[in-house]
Amino acid sequence: MEENTVTRSKYDDALAKYNTKISDEEIAKKVDNLIQTKVEANNTKKVKELLFHCIDLTTLKCEDNDKSVMKFTEKVNKFDNDYPHIKNVASICVYPNFSDVVKNTLDVENVDITCVAGSFPSSQTFIEIKIAEVGLALHGGADEIDIVLPVGKFFAKDYEGLSDDISEIKEVCKEHILKVILETGALKTASNIKKASILAMYAGADFIKTSTGKQQPAATPEAAYVMCQAIKEYFEKTGRKIGFKPAGGINTVHDALVYYTIVKEILGEDWLNNELFRLGTSRLANLLLSEIEGEEIKYF
């Protein structure tokens, strides 16, 4: 019993280093002001090209199959020839059982393979199964893994169990990028989002990500603001740069510009690249491409 108390206090001590008593109303005001005063200046072709290069082009449908995923990947292959003046997407994101399909189909450089794994989207299963699924995805060819933070453990204040889940999966990933999805729509408050961000980073996340896209609300500017602030404070205390990925509900170019602006204003220029900033989406690719080229394009 004494040992558990000591372990719990370690995570409480970590959280105590940060201000997690945040007003949702105050965050909303700050985000609204930022959108009103800063976004329009970033509405440029150069920024849109960067945003395209930051996309994790995603297909996570129940009807996905080997043939459809192969066709999806072939579009990314073809893009290099059809639009050589635009840098390709950052990665292709699929379910773990399709990692080998993408690996065997993808023939362009500098596009990674991302797999959602670890009992996506609920994170509700045994850690042994999560580890096995992550390991199989990596064996199939995945470069990056997106997992869901155990939200149930967060609400139970089982910070040790939550952190152990993440750290054990990171141990399997080794040098591969691990993105931890907070499912901010379930966390609801700015305070909870800040706490979950800190715990995920301390446990070994290389990126923190807003949402699975399977629960509403998905990504919101308010959640992004809180997460980026947590990343900034974590970097100031540890020297470790953590990436940020909004995902779910990114339906317009303006949405993407809002997230770009939040990253730029809070984290700065060092984060404005696809090593530290990603966008989880599929529909956004065509919208950005259309605005970059100045005509409606339905490529993906």
Active site residues: 146, 209, 245
Q: Is 256 within 8 Å of 51 (Cβ atoms)?
A: yes
Dihedral angle, C-alpha 262, 80, 252, 191, nearest 10 °: -40
How many CA atoms lie less than 13 Å away from 166 in the CB half-sphere? 31
**Which value, to the nearest 10 degrees, does the dihedral of the CA atoms of residues 205, 190, 148, 145 take?**
-40
**Checking phi first, is residue 281 left (phi over 0); if not, alpha (psi -120 to 50) or beta?**
beta
- Residue 25, number of CB atoms within 10 A of its CB: 9
Beta bridge partners of 114: 93, 144
Q: Which residue has the tokens 């491409």?
A: 289
Phi first, then psi: give them for residue 92, nearest 5 degrees: -110, 125
Contact in structure between 145 and 137 (CB atoms under 8 Å):
yes
Closest alpha carbon to 202 in 245, 237, 157, 174? 237
Alpha helices in the chain (DSSP H): 2-16, 24-38, 45-53, 66-82, 99-105, 127-140, 151-155, 159-173, 184-187, 190-203, 221-238, 253-266, 283-293
Contact (Cβ atoms closer than 8 angstroms) between residue 47 and residue 257: yes
Q: How far apart are CA 80 and CA 86, in angstroms?
A: 8
